[in-house]
Amino acid sequence: MADLAARKVRGGGLRWLLPFVGLLVVGLLWWTGSVALTARTPVAAAFAPWPTLQALAGLVTSADIWHHTWLSLQRVGVGLLLAIGLGVPLGVATGLWRGFAQATGPVFQFLRMISPLSWMPIAVMVLGVGDAPVYFLLAFAAVWPVLLSTTAGVAQLDPNWLLLARSVSATGRETVWRVILPGITAQILTGVRLAIGIIWIVLVPAEMLGVSAGLGYFILDTRDRLAYSELMAGILLIGALGFVLDHAARWVHARWMHN
């Protein structure tokens, strides 16, 4: 019994230690790469760990970067809501009605294989410069995991639930709201988590469409100002924020599964 407890303690310690070891290894590789590149390209010294961390400390203590971050998070929220508002109804319809699935299946598969960034010129021409084309690109990128996860959830739903709903003369709307959606919430949350990851990847290039603020704009601005240490610090901040968003999505999913 004591050996089992000791193994659990050691296992718990390793679980916390190994991520730090991984980060340390990546940091050493980063430092080694920057030193090697600086020998050929002196400007690479600005991308080294220490200048980057100094720039990051300056960024997180200034209000400017948080203004950009807040606007980017707002765009992520709007894009995700649009994707959920479109993907969930289409997923339910695809899962429930075979004719609709057969008619739309090839179209959906074709569209989801198109890179969202390839729509950038058309989005600007049609929607103009500003937030609207960014919302479109983010929603287009995020709608497919939500739609496919919702469809899979409906397909896996216990058919006895639908039979029970029919037996009590439930309307189609009541069946959707009180039987189907509660029964597939876990699958929808899985799709939302995947959508958040995709949105966060598409966000930075999407914000290079002429908006005057946001993390994508900040990356372009640091490049134009030749502030390379700030550019690298911005990249680290984008990665950290994406990690937090993914962790929050996983936490929500786990909480729902354990309820």
- Give the Å distances, CA to CA, from 220 to 109, 201, 226, 250: 33, 16, 10, 31
- Give the Å distances, CA to CA, from 233 to 51, 183, 236: 9, 43, 5
* Residue bearing the bigger pLDDT, 183 or 13: 183
Q: At 112, is the secondary structure helix, strand, or coil?
A: helix
Question: Residue 10: which pLDDT band, with cuts at 50, 70 and 90?
Answer: low
- Give the Å distances, CA to CA, from 166 to 64, 162, 171, 183, 221: 57, 6, 8, 16, 59
Residues with Cβ within 8 Å of 231's Cβ and at least 6 positions away in sequence, in order, are 219, 222, 223
Buried b (16+ CB within 10 A) or exposed e, 197-220: ebbbebbbebbebebebbbbbbbe
- 230-245 pLDDT per residue, tens: 999 999 999 999 999 9
pLDDT in the model for residue 11:
57
Side-chain half-sphere CA neighbours of 80 within 13 A: 21
How far apart, in whole angstroms, are the C-alpha atoms of residue 166 and residue 150? Answer: 21
**Residue 5 scores a pLDDT above 90:** no
Question: Residue 7: which pLDDT band, with cuts at 50, 70 and 90?
Answer: low
Helix (H) or strand (E) holding 113: none
Choice among 95-109, 166-180, 216-230 with the minimum mean pLDDT: 166-180
Report DSSP state, residue 213: S
C-alpha angle 133-136-140 in degrees, rounded to nearest 5: 145
Average pLDDT of the residues of the chain:
86
pLDDT in the model for residue 212:
85
Nearest to 232 by CA among 46, 38, 80, 90: 46
Q: At 56, is the secondary structure helix, strand, or coil?
A: helix
Choice among 44-53, 212-221, 226-235 with the minimum mean pLDDT: 44-53
- 107-158 pLDDT per residue, tens: 999 999 999 989 988 998 888 888 899 999 999 999 999 999 999 998 888 7
Side-chain half-sphere CA neighbours of 175 within 13 A: 19
- 56-110 pLDDT per residue, tens: 998 889 888 999 999 999 999 999 999 999 999 999 999 888 899 999 989 999 9
